[in-house]
């Protein structure tokens, strides 16, 4: 969505958009699965599983994971695959469970993934409960965001995400609580959603409400190359809400610099938006070359929920309206790019982050990684 940075017409070197195949080809998506999504991918925020025994299911490129808060207080992720004959164990999210039971033959696992029940198998020669724990995937938590990795060959999270560690601590994101989660099916390639998020060149034409709440030509970017891109936008009021007023207590000690809208795209699938009174994020999951699932979530400080002035719907509505405008224009772009009439176009200086995104993307796609 929105961000701004305006190299001048004389300092910006014009760059072409990518050829159509990068938005339409299943083969390219297959390469992206390994090279772009083969590292650390975000599956959600810890507040979704705030208590022991809470879990949710996450689906990434057909792999279904159980992301669980164990009875011992840790966050873990397992393949949603029974160790008996491979059946999917859970078909929906759960709350406060003591164990997970496969519906097929009732093999049962504790929240740590250990097999604790297998009818008729106790004492069977050569059978080991210990050898039949659920298979876990690598997991790391940054600012409350849960990231998973299917591979042991990737860099550590601390190496990969070094530019972001500690960067947003003023917003206390790890301590915030989810008020609302919305799921959108967007018939557009995942990169079009990233690109659209990274410019406000379109704000005047697509977002009448948002254009009243923020100055689309204001602000600056502080991450301008690489996998993480973004910066801030000046607000015309106090927050990005339908009323332009804050709708909840501040999420932290907000100085003048924090009383803005901050917007960052974080490869491979997290779009982060920070405001003085709430934080929201989108997770983008490719379903095919031309379809993406977007999960958007609004987070507030825990104290907000008991605050008399708490009007979270003002934040939800502002972005639900804006999101739908964005998804619609992404779908329209997907249609045009899929036409024989599409030829790579030229980015404007107000789309410098998109040019940077494409440069980094092509570097990774051509790498041996
Ligand atoms: S496949 Fe899960 S108990 Fe048999
Ligand atoms: Fe937008």
| Model confidence pLDDT, tens digit, residues 9-52 | 677 788 999 999 999 999 999 999 999 999 999 999 999 999 99
Tell me the CA–centroid distance for residue 88 and ligand 1, in Å. 8
Average pLDDT over residues 66-78: 98
Write out pLDDT tens, residues 101-113: 999 999 999 999 9
pTM: 0.95
Cα(119) to ligand 1 centroid in Å equals: 10
pLDDT tops 50 at residue 3? no
The residue whose C-alpha atom lies closest to atom 1 belonging to ligand 1 is 85
Task: Say which range, 71-85, 124-138, 219-233, 270-284, has the weakest mean pLDDT.
Answer: 219-233
Query: What distance in angstroms lies between residue 52's CA and the mean position of ligand 2's atoms?
Result: 37
CA 279/CA 277 separation, integer angstroms? 7
Span 114-153, pLDDT tens digits: 999 999 999 999 999 999 999 999 999 999 999 999 988 7
d(CA 61, CA 29): 10
pLDDT digits (tens, 9 = 90+) for 345-367: 999 999 999 999 999 999 999 99
Query: Which pLDDT tens digit goes with each residue over 190-226?
Result: 999 999 999 999 999 999 999 999 988 888 899 999 9
Ligand at minimal distance from the CA of 329 is 2
Q: Report how far apart, in Å, the C-alpha atoms of 66 and of each of 70, 82, 93 are.
A: 11, 11, 8
Q: Say how many Å lie between the CA of residue 57 and the centre of ligand 1.
A: 18
Strand order in the sheet with 99-101: 99-101, 108-110, 115-117
pLDDT at 151: 87
- The binding-site residues of ligand 1, defined as CB within 6 angstroms of any ligand atom, are 82, 84-85, 87, 102, 104-107
Contact assessment for residue 298 and residue 308, using Cβ atoms and an 8 Å cutoff: no
Q: Strand, coil or helix: what is 213?
A: helix
Does the structure show a pLDDT above 60 at 235? yes
What is the predicted pLDDT for the residue at 2?
41
Closest of 104, 136, 98 to residue 118, by C-alpha = 104
pLDDT one-digit tens code per residue, 297-347: 999 999 999 999 999 999 999 999 999 999 999 999 999 999 999 999 999
pLDDT band, very low/low/confident/very high, at 368 (cuts 50, 70, 90) = confident
Nearest ligand to the C-alpha of residue 83? 1
Measuring from atom 4 of ligand 1, which residue has the nearest CA? 105
pLDDT for residue 1: 43
Q: Is the pLDDT of residue 369 over 70?
A: no
Q: What is the pLDDT of residues 149-189, one digit of tens each?
A: 998 877 899 999 999 999 999 999 999 999 999 999 999 99
Q: Which of 264, 290, 295, 289 is nearest to 59 (CA)?
A: 295
- Indicate the length of the chain as a whole number: 369
Chain center to CA of 42: 6
């Amino acid at each position: 969505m929105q961000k701004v940075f305006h190299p001048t017409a004389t300092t910006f070197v014009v760059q072409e958009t990518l050829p159509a195949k990068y938005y339409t080809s299943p083969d390219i998506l297959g390469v992206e699965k390994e090279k772009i999504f083969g590292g650390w991918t975000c599956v959600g925020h810890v507040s979704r599983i705030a208590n022991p025994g809470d879990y949710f299911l996450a689906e990434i490129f057909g792999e279904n994971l159980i992301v669980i808060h164990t009875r011992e207080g840790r966050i873990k992720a397992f393949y949603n695959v029974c160790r008996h004959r491979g059946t999917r164990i859970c078909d929906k999210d759960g709350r406060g469970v003591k164990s997970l039971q496969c519906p097929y033959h009732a093999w049962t696992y504790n929240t740590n993934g250990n097999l604790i029940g297998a009818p008729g198998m106790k004492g069977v020669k050569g059978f080991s409960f210990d050898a039949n724990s659920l298979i876990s995937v690598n997991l790391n938590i940054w600012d409350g965001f849960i990231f998973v990795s299917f591979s042991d060959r990737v860099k550590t999270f601390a190496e990969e995400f070094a530019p972001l560690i500690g960067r947003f601590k003023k917003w206390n994101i790890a301590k915030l609580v989810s008020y609302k989660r919305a799921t959108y099916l967007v018939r557009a390639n995942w990169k079009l959603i990233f690109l659209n998020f990274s410019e406000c060149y379109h704000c005047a034409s697509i977002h009448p409400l948002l254009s009243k709440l923020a100055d689309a030509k204001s602000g600056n970017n502080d991450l301008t190359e690489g996998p993480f891109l973004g910066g801030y936008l000046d607000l015309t009021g106090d927050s990005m809400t339908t009323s332009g007023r804050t709708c909840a207590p501040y999420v932290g000690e907000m100085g003048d610099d924090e009383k803005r809208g901050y917007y960052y795209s974080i490869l491979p699938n997290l779009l982060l938006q920070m405001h003085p009174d709430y934080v929201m994020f989108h997770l983008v999951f490719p379903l095919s070359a031309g379809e993406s699932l977007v999960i958007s979530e609004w987070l507030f400080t825990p104290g907000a929920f008991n605050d008399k002035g708490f009007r979270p719907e003002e934040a939800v509505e502002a972005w639900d309206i804006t999101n739908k405008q964005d998804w619609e224009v992404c779908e329209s772009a997907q249609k045009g790019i899929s036409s024989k009439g599409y030829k790579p176009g030229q980015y404007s200086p107000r789309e410098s982050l998109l040019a940077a995104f494409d440069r980094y993307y092509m570097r990774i796609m051509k790498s041996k990684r």
